[in-house]
Amino acid sequence: MTLNEILVGRRSCRRFTAEVPSREVIETLIAEALTAPSSKNTRSTRYVVVTDPAKLEIMSRMRDYGSALLSGAPVAIVVCGDAQASDLWEVNCSISATILQLAVEEHGLGSCWVHVKDRPHLKDDPSAGSAEEWLSENLPIIPAGWRPLCVVAVGYPEVPAKPHAPKDDSDKVLWVE
């Protein structure tokens, strides 16, 4: 699979088969994500790999929208940043999560980014606190000092991804010559 094929063919996957990717595959994915560039080479991104179905079910309830898919995912990788290691830990996490999602494709797996940082637990009730607070209270698995940016759900796609139709994106690019 070429990088172009991965980039053009990748879609978010929200429904997975029951097959659990092997630990070896997950370790390879993490090793590949760990190659991500980072500000000042601080390598501030950390990963929490969750495979326990009961914990995935709890995690799926961290938000009342957009996180339910986690209960049907065989693996969830919480992409965290060590805020002490870099003031740009969120940017570093974003790059790491993106590279993780691209690596996933090469292994025949699918993934979906589920955002955590600055997302409310309940979208219409800010008093219910943030998804991050809800997670730390209801599923205290993230080590102190690590801040979650997002969760990347990973598994074998139930149906093959249908690539986006080609678009005219010419208005998104400005050439200065």
Contact footprint for ligand FMN (CB under 6 A): 11-12, 14, 66, 69, 112-115
Residue 78 tokens read as 């919480």
In angstroms, rounded to a whole number, what is the distance separating the alpha carbons of residues 111 and 139?
22
CB of 170 to ligand FMN, least distance (A): 19
75-82 β-sheet, strand order? 45-50, 75-82, 146-155, 110-115
Cα(111)–Cα(14) distance, integer angstroms? 7
What's the Rg (C-alpha) of the chain? 17
Distance, CA of 172 to CA of 65 (rounded, Å): 29
User: Which C-beta is closer to ligand FMN: that of 22 or that of 115?
Assistant: 115
Sign of CA dihedral 100, 102, 104, 110: positive
Contact of 106 with 2, CB cutoff 8 Å: no
Q: What is the number of helices (H) and of strands (E) in the chain?
A: 5, 4
Rounded least distance, CB 32 to ligand FMN, Å: 18
CB of 171 to ligand FMN, least distance (A): 18
Q: Which residue number, 12 or 84, has a Cβ lying nearer to ligand FMN?
A: 12
Residue closer to ligand FMN (CB basis): 104 or 112: 112
Q: What's the min distance (Å) between Cβ of 14 and ligand FMN?
A: 6
99 or 112: whose CB is closer to ligand FMN? 112
Nearer to ligand FMN, 1 or 40 (CB): 1
Give the nearest distance from C-beta 176 to ligand FMN in angstroms.
27
